[in-house]
Structure 1
Amino acid sequence: MTKKLANRVSTLSPSTTLAITAKAKEMKEAGIDVIGLGAGEPDYNTPANILEAAYASMQEGKTKYTPSGGLPALKDAVIEKLKHDQGLDYSRAEIMIGIGAKHVLYTLFQVILDPEDEVIIPTPYWVSYPEQVKLAGGKPVFVDSTSSSQFKVTATQIKEAVTDKTKAVIINSPGNPTGMIYSRQELEQIASVCQEKDIWIISDEIYEKLIYGTEQHVSIAQLSQDAKDRTFIINGVSKSHSMTGWRIGYIAGDKEVVSAMTNLASHSTSNPTTTSQYATIEAYNGPQDAVEEMRKDFESRLERIYPQLVAIPGFKVIKPQGAFYLLPEVSEAMEKTGFSSVDDFAAALLTEAKVAVIPGSGFGSPNTIRLSYATSIDLLEEAVSRIHSFVKANWKE
Structure 2
Amino acid sequence: MSRTDTYVVVGAGQAGGRAAEAIRGAGFSGRLVVVGAERVRPYERPPLSKQVLTGAAAPDTAFLRAPDYYDEHGIELMLNQRVEAIDRGSARLTLAGGETLAYDKLLLATGSRVRRLALPGSELAGIHYLRDLDDSLTIAKALRAGARVVIVGGGYIGLEVAAAARKRGCAVTVLEAGDGLMRRQVAEEVGDWYADLHRRHGVEIVTGANVEAFEGGSRVQAVRLADGTAYPADLAVVGVGILPNVELAADAGLEVDDGIVVDACGRTSDPAIFAAGDVTRHPNPILGRRVRLESWQNAQNQAVAAGRTMAGEETPYAQVPWFWSDQYDVNLQMVGLPDRVDRLVRRGDPEGGAFTLFYLKDGRIVGANAVNSAKDIAPTRKFIETGAKPDPDMLSDPETSLKKVLKAAG
Same fold per TM (> 0.5)? no
**What TM-score, normalized by structure 2, do the two folds share?**
0.31
- Whichever of the two has the greater Rg, that structure is 2
Larger relative CO (CA 8 A, sep 6+): 1 or 2? 1
TM-score under structure 1 length normalisation: 0.31
